[in-house]
Structure formats: C-alpha cells, structure tokens
Chains A and B, each alone.
Chain A
Amino acid sequence: MKQPELIPHLFRTEFRKITAVLCKLFGIAHIEIAEDIASETFLRAIETWPYKGIPENPTAWLYTVAKNKAKNYIRRDQVFTGKIASQIKHTLSGIEEIEIDLSEQNITDSQLQMLFTICHPSISTEAQIGLALRILCGFGIDEIANALLTNKETINKRLFRAKDKLRTEKVKIEFPGAAEINKRLETVLTTLYLLFNEGYYSESRDTVLREDLCLEAMRLTYLLAENEHTSKPVVYALLSLMCFQSSRFEARKNANGEMILYQDQDETLWDQELISKGMYFLNISAQGDKISKYHLEASIAYWHTIKEDTHEKWENILQLFNQLLQIEYSPIAALNRTYALSKANGKAAAIIEAEKLGLTDNHFYFTLLGELYKGIDDDKARKNFQKALSLAKTQTDKQTIQKKIDIL
C-alpha cells in the first residue's frame, strides 16, 4: 500500500483500537483524552512519514507512539495524575510501569467492553449509534453526518451530550455481570441492528460509506459471537440476518443508485458466500430455547434467498411474519405479512386483510394496496399508487412508485 492510502487505511483500523484500549485504561470520564491521544498519534504519522519514510511495521510504530503519548500525558498533567492515576487499576509503583496493553486480546476485550458502555440504556439510541461509529468504527464526524443524513454540528452536539451523560452516570467499562448480561446484550444488539439498517436503507448517495456501515455492524456482531461472555444464540441469529441481507447488497441498487425491488433483482448478483455464512450462523443460532425477532427475521431472509416462488416458500414466510408480529408489532412487518399472505393465499384474501390495516399515513401501505389491486381492479390500483406518491418523501421512493403507475 502506498503512503497516501496507508494512513487513512490505518486510521480506519487502528484509531478505534487505540481509543478503546486507552479509554478502558483511563475510564469513561476521560474518553476525550483517549480520542485526542489517538488523533495526535496519527497526526505525528502524517508529519513524520513523508520525510522519514514509512516505518517497517507501521502499526507497531503507531502503538509505540500512542503508548508514549499516553505515558507523557499522565506524567505531565498533575491534575490528571491526581485524579486519574489513582483510578487506573494497575498497581502504581511509578508511571513508567503503567502497562499500556495493545495486545490483540486486550484490544478485542476493550472494544467489546466499550460496546457495552456505549450502548448504555441511559443514552438515546441515535446517540449510541453515533458514538459507536466514532469510537468503535473510527468514522470521522463528516462521515457520520453524511451516513446519518444530518450535519456536523448535530453530530458533534449529539456525541458531546452522550459522552457527558456517560460521565455523569459513571458508566463502567466492563462486561456486565451474568445476571445483567442478557438485558444489556439486548440493547447492544438493537443498536447493531439499527446501525446495520442505517447502512442498508440509508438514502445517502455514498455507496462505499453505506457498505462500510453494514460491514462495521457485522464486524462488531462477529466480535460478540466470538467472545465467551456473549456468544449467545441470539447474537448468531442477528449475524445470520446481516449476512443474508448483505448478500443482496450488489443486486438491490442499479448504477444510478435507484432501488431494484426484490422480484426484479438479478439473483446472479447475490453473494453466495454470504448466503452460506448466513445459513451456517442460522444453524448455530437454533441451539437456544428462545426464539428472538432476529431468529424470525433471519429465517425470513433465508427464504428470500430462494428466488423461485413456491407455495411452500410463501407459506413459511407468512408463518414467520405471524410469529414476528406477535413478538413485536411494526407497520413494515404488518405490510410484509400481508404481501406474504397474497403470495400464499391469493390477492383477494390479502386485499380484505390489507384494507383493515389502516396505515393511512404510510406510503408503503398504499403501494401494497396498489400492488394487490393490480390485475384485479387497475383503476383502484392507480388511485392507491397515486396516494402513495403523494405521501412518499424521498426521491427514490417517488421514482419507484412513479414507475409502477407508468407500467400500469
């Protein structure tokens, strides 16, 4: 790798590791110091490497600089020494002996413990996602703002408030105890699920960034699956779902970034390796005795990897949505269930059910009604599509609906 690409690449992979380890060492109250030291380390690389050349082992170089900077910081700052050095768990016979452990094991543990800290119930989900992107995924503020379709100021404020909250709540950076882990894991999984969805459904034009979001969510979920404290069936179920969903990443948008609906996708573009990984994780997830919404969603996604329309396929999808809705209602699950119903039992039966859903502020609702009436009553189909068009907000949605009207 050449120098211009090397530093951004290392920034993406190493910034988060250094930050997590230092933050774990200093405590959540000093999260900004950890971030600053990590940033300064990269600044030093940018200043030095062009003149002295790339070191033989760039990562080791970064770790050494980060360690020295951390030690210097502790030595220099009396306030810091007084306030924090006493909190550092390692026995302190002298600052020189502080162990800054950048081993692979400690990096992974620190990142996972930070994941639990960041996904603390005391801060909002959107703040959790922002912090996870910044601290655990090494995203810049610009990138986060772009991915979440907002501006830098909003993200900065959001992160500032969230860090402040974690500080005042004195949230510890550690694995939750056995009694608490399932409950806390639930919050972590929700955040990872939403992080993945941000990437998968984002309106952002930046395809690379959107894929990165999905990959990061998968990477963090995989870390959970690999760890003895957290390798639970529900984690594998989420991982399976993410694999199945991302297997269609290439197929679901065309060159202009327009959405290609499932039935129109070129299935040769589906990533077979991710599909088989999804099946592998889904099998492991079947070990427990509890069916989570991720199990059901992963199973639904599994059936979608079979392109051919059979009664068996849609009947299975219908039953899975039936179970999913009993665990947790969502308008989109209700609409998808009705679509599955039309595939399993015919459009006429589905129209009766659809009319009763009453989701009259939802453009997907009218799009579904339009689809169901198509071929049965094209006039009603058109009226529903037009209603959908008037409710749709994004350009992509409007284009998709307009196309449906045009071919009616």
Chain B
Amino acid sequence: MKDFLLIYRMNYDAIPVGTPEQMAAMTKRWMDWIAEIAAKNKLADRGNRLATSGKVVRADNVVTNGPYTEIKESIGGYSMVKAGSYDEAIELAKGCPILSVGGNVEVREVSVL
C-alpha cells in the first residue's frame, strides 16, 4: 500500500455562487465520496480545503498575490489516499465531485524520503 496525494484543482472564479441548498448538496456529495474511500479503508488523511487567496514567495524577496496569476486554475484542497497502484488511486479519484463542476484531480504518488 502506497500513499497518493489527490490534489483538487479548478477555476474558482468560474463557479457560479450557488444557493445555500446547492452548496449543502455539494458538501454532502463530497462527504459521501470521501466516506466511500474511508469505508474501503483507503483514506490516509481526509486533508483540507484551501482558502482561495494566497501568496507566492519567489527569489529576492519577491512576494506576489497568488496562487498563480498566469493560470486561472488553482488548488482548492487535497486528500491523501492509500492504494496498491496508480490504477487503483485513479479509480478512487474518478468519483470526485469536483469533476462534475469542471475541475480536475491530480494524482501523485508520495515518494517517501
């Protein structure tokens, strides 16, 4: 069993602000999906959401507003799952609710130091 980081990305500017009911329904879909992974004993860490604003620190003390101005897409959150292979990790990622609203999931194997 290896750890894989799931990185949730999407263009957060493009999301229409939903009604409270729609937001609640979306939260529920996330909960159901994460719990499905947990029910298979494949969840290593449910992770967290990230705030939409951020800073980027570059060389020579250059700090810019982030995350990245040159691309619209940004990281909205992350989770850690346990899987035997990339294929299995990808299978787990396929149910992610972010896919239904134009986002994507980056799957990265953790290379333990």
- A171 proximity list for chain B (CB < 8 A): none
Is A326 an interface residue when CB atoms closer than 8 A count as contact? yes
- A326 near B40: Cβ-Cβ < 8 Å: no
Chain B residues proximal to chain A, CB less than 8 Å:
28, 31-32, 34-36, 38-41, 43, 46
- A326 near B28: Cβ-Cβ < 8 Å: no
Q: Can you list 17 residue pairs at the A/B interface with Cβ under 8 Å? A: A321-B35, A322-B31, A322-B35, A323-B35, A325-B38, A326-B35, A329-B39, A331-B41, A334-B38, A334-B40, A334-B41, A337-B35, A338-B39, A353-B36, A356-B40, A357-B39, A357-B40
A331 CB to nearest chain B CB (Å): 8
Instruction: Provide the bound-state CA to CA distance between A321 and B38, in Å.
Output: 10
Chain A residues proximal to chain B, CB less than 8 Å:
318-319, 321-323, 325-326, 329, 331, 333-334, 337-338, 353, 356-358
Q: Decide if the interface of chain B is mainly helix, strand, loop or mixed.
A: helix
- B34 proximity list for chain A (CB < 8 A): 322, 326
Having A329-B41, A353-B36, A353-B39, one finds 7 other A-B pairs with CB under 8 Å, namely: A319-B28, A325-B39, A329-B39, A329-B43, A334-B41, A337-B35, A338-B39
Instruction: Provide the bound-state CA to CA distance between A357 and B39, in Å.
Output: 7
Instruction: Provide the bound-state CA to CA distance between A325 and B34, in Å.
Output: 9
A187 CB to nearest chain B CB (Å): 23
* Residue in A closest to B36 when the chains form the complex, CB atoms: A353
Q: Decide if the interface of chain A is mainly helix, strand, loop or mixed.
A: helix
- A337 near B40: Cβ-Cβ < 8 Å: no
Instruction: Provide the bound-state CA to CA distance between A318 and B38, in Å.
Output: 13
Instruction: Provide the bound-state CA to CA distance between A319 and B38, in Å.
Output: 13
* Residue in A closest to B91 when the chains form the complex, CB atoms: A356
- B31 proximity list for chain A (CB < 8 A): 319, 322-323
* Residue in A closest to B42 when the chains form the complex, CB atoms: A329
Instruction: Provide the bound-state CA to CA distance between A321 and B35, in Å.
Output: 8
* Residue in B closest to A349 when the chains form the complex, CB atoms: B32
6 smallest beta-carbon distances between A and B, as pairs: A322-B35, A325-B38, A334-B39, A329-B41, A322-B31, A326-B46
- B41 proximity list for chain A (CB < 8 A): 329, 331, 334
Instruction: Provide the bound-state CA to CA distance between A2 and B69, in Å.
Output: 86
- B35 proximity list for chain A (CB < 8 A): 321-323, 325-326, 337
- A353 proximity list for chain B (CB < 8 A): 36, 39
B79 CB to nearest chain A CB (Å): 10
- A325 proximity list for chain B (CB < 8 A): 35, 38-39, 43
Instruction: Provide the bound-state CA to CA distance between A353 and B46, in Å.
Output: 19
- B43 proximity list for chain A (CB < 8 A): 325-326, 329
* Residue in A closest to B27 when the chains form the complex, CB atoms: A319
A125 CB to nearest chain B CB (Å): 21
* Residue in A closest to B39 when the chains form the complex, CB atoms: A334
- A319 proximity list for chain B (CB < 8 A): 28, 31
B111 CB to nearest chain A CB (Å): 25
- B32 proximity list for chain A (CB < 8 A): 318, 322
A368 CB to nearest chain B CB (Å): 12
Instruction: Provide the bound-state CA to CA distance between A323 and B46, in Å.
Output: 10
